[in-house]
Structure 1
């Protein structure tokens, strides 16, 4: 006798066959780990903690190179552009709940090759981001101690603390730290602005616009371009939200806060310091003020580094154990793999920062190669793919404005990638030619 399936069972089987409809995380009462716990408010705090970190410290120098007007136009435009691309990323995530990271999105759009490419890029960029935060932490500790210890030891100390913060398996454990991070980086920025206003540089030069060559101009432009480069983490953050539909609220908070704060910080520091402003900008402040700002900002670098290394580890961990008991329960294998992945992520960042003299330039190359696509270019591809996938090619022509904007988004990502890589490579060549490259494992 033929066995008949109930309508409910047919629906479940159809859902199981539709991989896009399966959420990356499921919630059951007996799970030890509950991932979908974040509110949009805490997601916005984690986004701000990750993005508005040491990126803002290089923005005043951009005003010194191209002038206050072009730089401000660029900072504000990129804030709006980042909000637009965030909307496209969030829509793609909502259309494909199984997407946990850029690699999953690549699998949907281009198969295994694109999945591996985007996954590898995410891991590389996250490790470089961790290394960048380690270097910022080392600079802060060196400033606070008057270089009282070899920089290698400061890096090691900061790497150990970063590892500890990366170890929680779920992001809700980092939510309150995100609030602390945002409060401290905001306070550090305000303190730096007060310090600059209280100690202006006499006879400083200010320029509304500066005529310069392409290399110098784009070198300055990379600072605001990559100051918004945090979209690569959005899929992972949204995957742990209670209501992913609220993700756009978090994006509004992030881009609104970042754009306003970046603009105020860059203008105030530049107006009072002038075109001699250093990068990071805190080095242009009097020593006591600089130490106070570094000390307040220090936990932000630590939390951001923990988020970056957590992201690299989480991508691989979910790839290994997706929908298995090791994701949701305390197992020896699960914890062993998780700790090893976090240790490898932080360890690689530490080794690169201490053993590769040009690591700070490699951070720029990784941002040019990957952040240009994750934050900007790929968003255009997401809209194009989903429109064709759900509506067919005719859907593209029903929305000519979005079609044009998506194509321009892809082109902008390609331009930033190519030009940014060119500038970063030329920086390395200049650094070696002028003998400013240090030695590995040196203080």
Structure 2
């Protein structure tokens, strides 16, 4: 539901082009990752890959592990933030002391409790249900955007002054094919990072490939998933944007719907708000837990020490997630920051480097010296992928941080750990 906002910033044509571009790059890098995993069946997770890519040094494993844990914890923080948004949206008229902080604590505690089971068997079933509910939620939001008389916040006046004294644009929704005049580098790059974040998920693929009966079948699932993503993300983003326009767009786009429609569509996201945060917390906790008790009976037996350690690891991740949600209380900016900090490596740099490592093993770099045209093209493509990754890390991080600073300066929230409602 961040795609409509991204299209409102980038314009519909660049937004759709960038959607397909990011999907294509992620598809290609995922195939590179798959080839690397087939060559190295001993790989268990992205940390093992990180160590192998960077000269088989232990520091590379630890650096990747830190980014892996931080990435997962930031995602948990995003779910704490959106969970608080949901509760604020549903109870806006009720008196609650220190609303957003209180709701964030409630969401964090609920997610901590739900993440206590140590097996993946139940999580797999919950994941299927979560995907179904998410699809219903997004489908309803798209339909409601089309059938509602006007977007939320609609004002028939072409221009007016808000009660706070700010100039505002009203009238019928304005939909533009290209960015409007005055669109800044920071806002445009943030919108692009929002699109990228939704597609980039290579960090989880090594674990999935390792669990497949026949890893050679992976490309079929990858192609099906990519095609479905392009269709769903593009259609939802374009349709909602077409009916909401630039003036009334929110992130996530549920806030652009009439109150009843907003609450109905948003409510179907509850399973996902809880499940995805729980999934990433469980992945992080398993990663740490299995290394603490690698050769111990606490790893597989029900012991007080084992369960106590498991619960404390999870609690620590949810406390950090709560802090992240309160320090960066902006949905789109938090997405952008995660994309720039972590997707730069896990979405681009790692797989460009993996390509060259495999070609070196094949003798492909020697072929380049002999003037192989296809080799030059593929080398240039993967150099470009690495450069894009470092662009995300540098310019992307700058744009994300600057956008957060601008949000605070504009008074969008009262500050960190704000009691004010962050409802849609």
Q: TM-score range by the shorter chain?
A: 0.7 to 0.9
Which of 170, 194, 205 is the matching residue for 1:223?
A: 194
* Structure 1 residue 234, shift from structure 2 partner: 2.1
**CA RMSD, Structure 1 to Structure 2 (Å):** 2.4
Give structure 2 stretches of 5+ with no counterpart. 151-170, 420-424
C-alpha distance in 2 between matches for 1:272 and 1:231: 33
Equivalence map 1:324-363=2 (5 Å): 325-354=297-326, 356=327, 361=333
CA contact (8 A) 2:5 2:253 kept: yes
Identify which range, 93-102 or 320-329, moves more after superposition.
320-329
What is the CA–CA distance in structure 2 between the aligned matches of 1:215 and 1:66, rounded to whole Å? 11
Deviation at 1:65, TM superposition (A): 1.5
TM-score by length of 1: 0.80
2:200 is paired with a residue whose SS is coil
Q: In 2, distance between residues paired with 1:232 and 1:377?
A: 12
**Cα offset, 1:101, TM superposition:** 2.6
Map of 1:203 onto structure 2:
172
Q: CA deviation at 1:301?
A: 1.3
User: 2 CA distance for matches of 1:379 and 1:422?
Assistant: 23
Q: Which residue of 236, 241, 247 corresponds with 2:218? A: 247
Maintained 8 Å contact 1:388/1:395: no
- Give the Cα–Cα distance (whole angstroms) in 1 for the partners of residues 103 and 407 of structure 2: 24
Partner of 1:369: 341
Corresponding residue to 1:138 among 84, 87, 92? 84
State the alpha-carbon separation in 2 of the partners of residues 323 and 395 from structure 1.
46
- Out of 405, 411, 421, which is 2:397 matched to? 421
TM (norm. structure 2) is 0.83
Name which of 412, 416, 421 aligns with 1:436: 412
Which one has the bigger helix percentage?
1
CA contact (8 A) 2:53 2:357 kept: yes
Q: Is the 8 A contact 1:127 1:346 kept in 2?
A: yes
Residue in structure 2 matched with residue 386 of structure 1 by the alignment: 358
Correspondence 1:86 to 2:86: no
- SS of the residue 1:311 aligns to: helix
CA distance in 2, matches of 1:406, 1:312: 30
1:25-46 Cα deviation digits (max 9, x unpaired): xxxxxxxxxxxxxxxxxxxxxx
Are 2:186 and 2:400, in contact at CA under 8 Å, matched by a contact in 1?
no
Greater mean deviation of Cα atoms: 328-337 or 372-381: 328-337
Name the CA distance, whole Å, in 2 between partners of 1:248 and 1:362: 31
Q: Is the 8 A contact 2:77 2:325 kept in 1?
A: yes
Residue in 2 aligned with 1:290?
262
Query: How far apart in 2 are the matches of 1:90 and 1:327?
Result: 29
Deviation (angstroms), 1:99: 2.4
Aligned residues: 386
Task: Establish whether residue 103 from structure 1 lines up as the match of residue 47 from structure 2.
Answer: yes
Q: Is the 8 A contact 2:197 2:338 kept in 1?
A: no
Which deviates more, 300-309 or 154-163? 154-163
- Larger RCO (CA under 8 A, 6+ residues apart): 2
Partners in 2 of 1:236 and 1:318 — Cα distance? 15
Residue 432 of structure 1: CA displacement? 3.8
Distance, in Å, in 1 between the alignment partners of 2:184 and 2:302 is 57
* Whole-Å separation in 2 of the counterparts to 1:324 and 1:78: 43
Q: Structure 1: which 5+ runs fail to align?
A: 1-56
| 1:239–1:336 Cα change, 3 Å | farther
Greater shift, 304-313 or 99-108, is seen at 99-108
Distance (whole Å) between structure 2 residues aligned to residue 359 and residue 113 of structure 1: 33
Q: Where in structure 2 are the equivalents of 1:152-167 lying within 5 Å?
A: 152-167=101-116
Choose from 221, 233, 236 the match for 1:265: 236
Distance of aligned partners of 1:433 and 1:407 in 2 relative to their CA distance in 1, 3 Å threshold: same
Match of 2:388 in 1: 412
Distance 1:255 1:203, change over 3 A: same
Instruction: Check 1:154–1:435 CA distance in 2 against 1; reply closer, same or farther (3 A cut).
Output: closer
2:17 maps to: 73
Residue correspondence of structure 1 range 1-16 to structure 2 within 5 A: none
Q: Shift of the alpha carbon at 1:127?
A: 0.4
